[in-house]
Structure formats: structure tokens, C-alpha cells
């Protein structure tokens, strides 16, 4: 594994977290919730304190959807490699 292969995920994280994506989405949500519903704005503030929008928390291992999404990803890799081996 070449060290430059880490550059893509790091650049993606920096872009989504600080330049676009998450930052813009969170700002939009904060403004909208403050106007529409103070209770929802409070819930969103609590959510932001407790959860990172990009990296999952270790506690989320207990969430069944974490395992379902992970299994779907592994299944996709196995299927792709199987198809590649079969078509050679």
C-alpha cells in the first residue's frame, strides 16, 4: 500500500467536513430548525454534541444497521472478486 493512497480519503474528509457537504448541511439545518421549531433546534444541538457526523462512534457497533451495511459492503466485494475470477 503506497502512502499516497491515504491522500484520497484524507482529502475527502477535509473537503466534506470543513469546506462543503457536512458543514453547509449543518449550517442550513441549524438555521431552518431555529426558525421552525426551537425544540428541534435543541435536539439538533444535542445530537451534534453527542455524535460526529462523519466518523461513527464505537457504541454504534451495537446498532444492527451498522452490521447490515457492513455485511452489504463485504458481500459486494466478495461478489465482485468472484465475478472477476469467474470471467478470467
pLDDT block averages, 10 residues each, the chain of length 88: 82 81 81 92 87 70 86 95 92
23 and 11 inside one domain: yes
- The DSSP output letter for 21 is T
64 and 81 inside one domain: yes
pTM greater than 0.85: no
88 and 48 inside one domain: no
Q: What is the pLDDT of residue 17?
A: 76
The domain tally of the chain equals: 2
Axis-axis angle for helices 22-36, 38-50 (nearest 10): 150
Q: What is the pLDDT of residue 27?
A: 84
Which domain, by its residues, includes 36? 1-55
10 HSE (CA, 13 A, CB side): 5
Q: How far, in Å, CA of 30 to CA of 41, rounded?
A: 6
Q: What is the pLDDT of residue 12?
A: 83
**Residue 77: partners with Cβ closer than 8 Å, 6 or more residues away:** none
6 and 46 inside one domain: yes
Amino acid at each position: 500500500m503506497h502512502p499516497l493512497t491515504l491522500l484520497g480519503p484524507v482529502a475527502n474528509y477535509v473537503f466534506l467536513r470543513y469546506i462543503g457537504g457536512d458543514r453547509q448541511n449543518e449550517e442550513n439545518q441549524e438555521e431552518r430548525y431555529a426558525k421552525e421549531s426551537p425544540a428541534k433546534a435543541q435536539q439538533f444541538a444535542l445530537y451534534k454534541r453527542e455524535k460526529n457526523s462523519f466518523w461513527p462512534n464505537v457504541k454504534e457497533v451495537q446498532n444492527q444497521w451498522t452490521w447490515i451495511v457492513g455485511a452489504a459492503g463485504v458481500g459486494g466485494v466478495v461478489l465482485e472478486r468472484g465475478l472477476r475470477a469467474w470471467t478470467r
